């Protein structure tokens, strides 16, 4: 009874959270004014193409980071396949209420074409962890520096430090579980609480090999971990470049300190509220507050910037879905082209 109640509660939560996001998104559009928003997008002009291209450059760098999450004995996966898997996973995360994790399952499935399942799962977990900790680490450090010299209410600063402490506690706890090879047990407990004892036993049994791989990676491939973090950090610099491009094209402002502030605080909020599907509503609200409270622009101009982010996400979501459908179509064609072996063929 309690398990059914838990699953029902999760379904209700997955339905309510996107609905709240839609309501908040609509309210922010109304508050900012559709005419002002459209004016900001129009002023950006051809800069939108460069904005989207910068996102692609960042994805290539993040695909390079994924390369260093494989074991040394693993077969080499072409960079284009890693890039394709990343775009597809990001698209799935954007269109489904899975809090940024459903796409990782899709990524693991795509990697299984090149490496064993346990290796694919291990790569996805390490890649997700290094990506997340680098993003939050950079966002936290940058935001802390900005808060030190920005006259913001004490309550806001205390909230920032309290939320950051909780996030760091989660990262450290997750790292401990991985290093000790107890991730399967931890995940099994979480799944068991929702889906029951049989589901927990399945997870613990099938992830036992992956636990050993995780522990081995952290003990023997520290250089690769640092390189993965380096490439992720390099990929995030494109986000600062995108913010700088927007300020320069729309307002004629060439201020990289303000561009960095937009990315630092924006990414910090994205990490803290990662449970909201696609950041719907929350992304617009946080960017509007950043523009209004920290860099001296208006609320509407912040929402306009978030609209550019949305267009960027929609474009790359379309690319990810298109490549996924193309891959599925090619796979079906390859299966149909394989000749069927009959009994007479076997005897020959």
DSSP assignments along 109-175, one per residue: HHHTTTS-HHHHHHHHHHHHHHHHHHHHHHHHHHHHHHHHHS---HHHHHHHHHHHHHHHHHHHHHH
pLDDT at 114 over 50: yes
pLDDT at 266 over 70: yes
Q: What is the predicted pLDDT for the residue at 347?
A: 47
Q: How far apart are CA 224 and CA 233, in angstroms?
A: 14
Average pLDDT, the chain: 78
Q: Give residue-wise pLDDT tens across range 116-162.
A: 877 888 888 889 889 999 999 999 999 999 888 877 777 778 889 99
Across the range 42-61, mean pLDDT stands at: 89
Q: What is the predicted pLDDT for the residue at 25?
A: 54
Q: What is the predicted pLDDT for the residue at 192?
A: 58
Higher-confidence position of 202 and 76: 76
pLDDT at 28 over 50: yes
Closest to 283 measured CA to CA, from 258, 252, 261, 304? 304
Q: Give residue-wise pLDDT tens across range 189-227.
A: 665 555 556 655 655 665 666 667 777 777 788 899 999
Across the range 57-70, mean pLDDT stands at: 94
Q: How far apart are CA 125 and CA 107, in angstroms?
A: 10
pLDDT at 271 over 70: yes
| Residue 347 is assigned to a structural domain of this protein | no
Tokens 């994805």 sit on residue: 59
pLDDT at 277 over 60: no
| Residue 269 is assigned to a structural domain of this protein | yes
Host domain of residue 287: 2-332
Higher-confidence position of 242 and 108: 242
Higher-confidence position of 198 and 51: 51
| Residue 311 is assigned to a structural domain of this protein | yes
pLDDT at 2 over 50: no
pLDDT at 320 over 90: no
| Residue 339 is assigned to a structural domain of this protein | no
| Residue 62 is assigned to a structural domain of this protein | yes
| Residue 9 is assigned to a structural domain of this protein | yes
Q: What is the predicted pLDDT for the residue at 283?
A: 78
Within 8 A by CB and 6+ apart from 171, the residues are 129, 132, 133, 136
Closest to 29 measured CA to CA, from 302, 291, 274? 302
Q: Give residue-wise pLDDT tens across range 82-97.
A: 998 888 888 877 776 5
pLDDT at 273 over 90: no
Q: What is the predicted pLDDT for the residue at 245?
A: 93
Give how many domains the chain has, as a whole number.
1
Residues in the chain, total: 348
| Residue 346 is assigned to a structural domain of this protein | no
| Residue 196 is assigned to a structural domain of this protein | yes
Q: What is the predicted pLDDT for the residue at 231?
A: 96
**Which region among 276-280, 310-314, 343-347 has the lowest average model confidence (pLDDT)?**
343-347
Count of other CB atoms within 10 angstroms of residue 258: 20
Q: Which two tokens stand for residue 300?
A: 């509407």
Q: What is the predicted pLDDT for the residue at 109?
A: 83
**What percentage of the chain has pLDDT greater than the value 70?**
70
Higher-confidence position of 33 and 241: 241
Q: What is the predicted pLDDT for the residue at 337?
A: 64
């Amino acid at each position: 009874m309690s398990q059914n109640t838990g699953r029902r509660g999760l379904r209700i939560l997955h339905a309510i959270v996107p609905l709240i996001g839609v309501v908040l998104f609509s309210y922010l559009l109304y508050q900012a004014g559709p005419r002002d928003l459209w004016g900001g997008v129009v002023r950006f002009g051809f800069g939108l193409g460069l904005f989207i291209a910068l996102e692609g450059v960042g994805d290539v760098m993040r695909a390079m980071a994924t390369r260093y999450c494989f074991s040394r004995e693993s077969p080499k996966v072409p960079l284009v396949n890693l890039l394709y898997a990343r775009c597809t996973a990001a698209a799935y995360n954007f269109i489904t209420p899975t809090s940024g994790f459903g796409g990782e399952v899709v990524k693991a499935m795509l990697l299984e074409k090149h490496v064993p399942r346990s290796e694919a799962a291990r790569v996805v977990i390490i890649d997700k962890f290094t990506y997340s900790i680098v993003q939050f680490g950079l966002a936290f450090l940058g935001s802390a520096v900005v808060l030190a010299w920005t006259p913001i209410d004490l309550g806001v600063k205390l909230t920032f430090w309290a939320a950051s402490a909780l996030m760091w506690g989660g990262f450290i706890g997750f790292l401990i579980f991985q290093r000790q090879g107890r991730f399967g047990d931890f995940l099994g407990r979480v799944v068991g609480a929702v889906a029951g004892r049989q589901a927990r036993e399945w997870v613990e049994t099938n992830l036992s090999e992956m636990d050993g791989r995780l522990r081995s990676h952290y003990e023997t491939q520290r250089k690769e971990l640092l390189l993965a973090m380096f490439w992720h950090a390099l990929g995030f610099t494109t986000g600062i470049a995108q913010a700088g491009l927007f300020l320069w094209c729309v307002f004629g402002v060439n201020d990289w300190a303000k561009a960095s502030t937009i990315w630092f605080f924006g990414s910090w909020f994205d990490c803290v509220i990662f449970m909201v599907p696609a950041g719907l509503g929350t992304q617009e609200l946080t960017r509007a507050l950043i523009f209004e409270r920290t860099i001296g622009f208006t609320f509407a101009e912040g929402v306009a910037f978030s609209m550019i982010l949305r267009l960027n996400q929609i474009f790359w979501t379309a690319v990810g879905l298109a490549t996924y459908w193309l891959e599925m179509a090619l796979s079906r064609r390859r299966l149909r082209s394989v000749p069927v072996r009959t009994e007479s063929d076997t005897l020959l």
